[in-house]
Amino acid sequence: MEFEQSVLYEIFPALMDSLHFDFRIKPPPPPRPIFNEKGEIIGTDTTGIGKALAGYEERKAELNADSVKLVVAIRDSVYPLKTEERNQLLKHFQNQNLKLDSTDLSTEYKIELNKLIADKKLRFKYLSEFPEGKDIWKKEYSFHLGGLTNLTRIQFDTTKSFGILECGMGCGRNCGYGVRVFIMKVNGKWLIDKLEETWIV
């Protein structure tokens, strides 16, 4: 389990870079389509798009420059990885002719917050410190709640050069998504090979 934990903490910064976003920054809506009398799209209405994009970039720069720390609530322990998900590792890396490592992944282990490294604006707190369910979004905090996340255990192949885990990210009362994360070891370093969306709300 020590090896698995070291891999999790190694890939965590890249995982957060890929999945977390500051949902205080809302990108402008896409241009509206223009229809002809037959209901066919003949163009897009770009009126005001330039101004909206400028406002978006200005707001993004403003929030990136502020000193506010965004707190991400993380489930205290990793989830077991479902048996049916483990086979996705073989499917994704089918050209490698992998065999699954037989380590028991049915137990959980507690995540060590001091080993979670990510963007300097992010801090992490255990989910158990917050109200349960959607009530987490109703309470006022002395910090900005920047999201929720959870992780599963990692299934490796027998050479421990390839792996798969799942991660969920919540961004509001009715906002969230999950991904299947394929990882691989390249020149002694663990990298994310691909993220596959598994659910979204």
Chain segment 101-144, per-residue pLDDT in tens: 999 999 999 999 999 988 877 899 999 999 998 899 988 888 88
Place of tokens 């109703």: 138
The residue among 79, 96, 76 whose CA lies nearest residue 182 is 96
Q: Which residues pair with 45 in a beta bridge?
A: 32
Place of tokens 């890396």: 93
Q: How confident is the model at residue 185 (pLDDT cuts 50, 70, 90)?
A: very high
Predicted local confidence at residue 189, as pLDDT: 96
Mean pLDDT over the full length of the chain? 87
Q: How confident is the model at residue 180 (pLDDT cuts 50, 70, 90)?
A: very high
Output the CA angle 121-150-112, nearest 5 degrees.
70
Query: Once rounded to an integer, what is the mean pLDDT over residues 143-171?
Result: 94
Q: Do β-strands 175-186 and 144-151 pair in parallel, antiparallel, or remain unpaired?
A: unpaired
Task: Residue 167: count other Cβ atoms within 10 Å of its Cβ.
Answer: 21
Residues 140/131, Cβ–Cβ less than 8 Å: no
